[in-house]
Structure 1
Amino acid sequence: MTTEYIGRGDPARTLALLWRDPSRARERAPRKGRPELTADRVIAAAIEVADAEGLGALSMRKVADHLGVGTMSLYTHVPGKAELIDVMLDTVFKETFTDAQVPHGWRARVERIARDNLALYRRHPWILQVAAGRPPLGPGTLGKYEHELSALDGIGLTDLEMDNVLALVGAYVHGAARGVVESARAAQETGMTDEEWWRAHEPFLAAAGDFSAYPLAGRVGTASGEAYNAASNPEVAFEFGLARLLDGIAVLIEGR
């Protein structure tokens, strides 16, 4: 899987693109019946390409083809692929904070943050291919951080603890999301559902070897297989892990 690192582009150009004046992105009536090309249209098209084909398939040429324009015309609005990926990530981050009613209580708020982030990974699986240890410093990233911190503000945690709790939740969801996304894609990529895969292998297990040396694996694996009709269920694992994670955070908060 291709990994792209944030921050490879020119800092000045990246920040200018991240914080561009929205009024300059307004589309004017085109001469040939086609909307004027803008940075927003280029970014939206790039996100659509990455959603459909993954980050490895993303290129300036692919985005241009998606828009039906020449590749060189993109460079008027976006300096290059490195800057484009930064602003793509910042753009989709805006989807995580909305005007929806905020749940009551820190636990419900943090749980919603986790679910909103999992939903973001579902919509845009390519985010899993982005190494964002140096996040894009744009309005989407900062707005997401502000929104998520507000779930923890005023409940007795220090500023560093608030930051670390968010990092903990984010790391958990990132790992869980990889399993959820890969499970969802497995049937598409292999042409076989989990249940079909399990049934195809089951008749050969007895003849494959002596499994008596693995009693725990056999017992637990059988229980899981019967429960999920698959080797595992990432959705169930996410719910179980999230509840245990929130329990741990509660211990920290209640200790105050």
Structure 2
Amino acid sequence: MAATEHSGSGDLSRSMALLWGMEERAKRGPKPGISVTRIVDTAIRIADAEGLDAVSMRKIAGCLGVGTMSLYRHVPGKAELIDLMLDGVGPVEPEDAALFRNWTWRERLRRLAQGFWQHYLAHPWLLHVDQARPVLGPNGLDGFELALSGFDDLPLTDQEKVGFVTAVDATAAGLARTHVNARLAEERTGISDREFWEAQSPALESAMASGRYPRIAQLDENAFSGLDEEAFMFAIDRMLDGLEALLDHRRETGWTPPPPTWQACEAGDGPERRGEKPA
């Protein structure tokens, strides 16, 4: 399941204007029967049910009972529509977000990780979109703000916080892609998992008996059966273990993160402020 679309590949200024409600509204003429919100919601429903390839202006128009060309009054094209869809699926947040602030930092980050995983399974078409250059709308920023709140009062630099969130999201996307592809394989090929592995059995049994692969031969027969949420959360817990060890070390040594660059610039960081003589 490789990426087939890219965020921010259309008219970026139009995408941002639509995301943040800055588009100029027509001052004359009848009130439109459709809206950007209805178009985006319909596109998301199509993508959730049939995949991203099924999303087209023609299909959306058919679902809404309007002419295809009428959609272009609201959304310039599919590239901008994808930007709106990415934001339209909503921020990734735990179901009981109201209690979020009362949890420990580890509980907060663990719940956020589960949210990433569930988000990809609920909207598997997200795995087809390369978001190396994200287009930041209100929902996306809401989710990012919540994610950063999981690090409140922790001795970490801003780069470390963003890096950790990015690593968790990448881990969720990678394992979700494997999980979704495995789920769709039988539907795509018409061959069950059992039939697939039975077809390879004679060659693999011979290979294992050769002694060339002793470690593989000793693997439990269920070794590859857990590539799901359990495997994902195992990886996340180990990442959190590492983060906890780092935090413990920093607390023991009294290490504190340096001020953000913008804060240092506002305060001034010249030689006079540091008690040094100017060169």
* Corresponding pairs, count: 240
1:23-38 equivalent positions in 2, closer than 5 A? 36-38=33-35
- Corresponding position of 2:246: 252
Alpha-carbon distance change, 45 to 176 in structure 1, aligned in 2, over 3 angstroms: same
Q: Within 5 A, what are the aligned runs for 1:157-168?
A: 157-168=156-167
Work out whether 1:62 is the aligned partner of 2:55: no
Q: Which has the higher helix share?
A: 1
* Distance in 1, Cα, partners of 2:127 & 2:189: 21
Unaligned runs of at least 5 residues, structure 1: 25-29
The answer as to 2:146 corresponding to 1:147 is: yes
Report the CA distance between 1:93 and its aligned residue: 3.5
Change (3 A) 1:70 1:211: farther
Amino acid at match of 2:43: A
| Matched-pair contact (CA < 8 Å) for 1:61–1:71 | yes
1:134 and 2:128 correspond = no
Counterpart of 1:93 in 2: which secondary structure? coil
The one-letter code of the counterpart of 1:176 is: L
User: Which residue does the alignment assign to 1:101?
Assistant: 99
Percent of paired sites with the same residue? 44
Q: CA deviation at 1:184?
A: 2.2
* SS at structure 1 position matched to 2:89: helix
Aligned residues: CA RMSD = 2.6
Q: What CA deviation, in whole Å up to 9, does each residue of 1:34-87 have, x standing for no partner?
A: x93111110011111111222223221222223232211111111111110001
Write the distance in 2 (CA, Å) between the matches of 1:14 and 1:197.
44
Q: CA deviation at 1:255?
A: 1.7
C-alpha displacement at 1:2, in angstroms? 4.7
TM score, norm. by length of structure 2:
0.77
- Which secondary structure state, in structure 1, belongs to the residue aligned with residue 37 of structure 2? helix
Rounded Cα–Cα distance in structure 1 between residues aligned with 2:180 and 2:89: 17
Decide whether aligned partners of structure 1 residues 193 and 153 sit closer, same or farther in structure 2, where only a CA change above 3 A counts: farther
Query: For 1:219 and 1:111, how far apart are their aligned partners in 2?
Result: 33
User: Shift of residue 191 of structure 1?
Assistant: 3.7
The alpha carbon displacement at 1:18 in A equals: 0.3
Is the deviation greater in 161-170 or in 197-206?
197-206
Contact preservation (8 Å) 2:94, 2:111: no
- Once residues 249 and 190 of structure 2 are traced to their aligned partners in structure 1, the CA distance between those partners, rounded to angstroms, is 50
TM, length-normalised to structure 1: 0.83
In structure 2, distance between residues paired with 1:67 and 1:108: 42
Aligned residue identity for 2:164: V
Correspondence for 1:156? 155
Per-residue CA shift, 1:184-228, capped at 9, x if unaligned? Answer: 2223323444345445544664468864211111112xx0x2x36
The offset of 1:158, in angstroms, is 2.0
1:17 aligns to 2:18 (yes or no): yes
User: Mean alpha-carbon deviation: is it higher for 51-60 or for 73-82?
Assistant: 51-60
Larger radius of gyration: 2
92-101 or 62-71: which moved more? 92-101
Cα distance in 1, alignment partners of residues 68 and 210 from structure 2 = 58
In structure 2, runs of 5+ residues without a counterpart are 26-30, 251-279
**Matches of 1:14 and 1:42 in 2, distance apart?**
14
Residue in 2 aligned with 1:27?
A: none
> Equivalent residue for 1:124?
123
Q: CA deviation at 1:143?
A: 0.7
1:90-123 deviation per Cα after TM superposition (whole angstroms, max 9, x unaligned) = 1113253664421611111111111101100001
CA contact (8 A) 1:211 1:218 kept: no
Contact 2:178 2:227 in 1 (8 A): yes
8 A Cα contact 1:60 1:81, kept in partner: yes
- Find the aligned partners of 1:82 and 1:241 in 2 and give their Cα distance: 34
Contact 1:18 1:139 in 2 (8 A): yes
Aligned residues of 1:165 and 1:249 also touching (Cα < 8 A): no
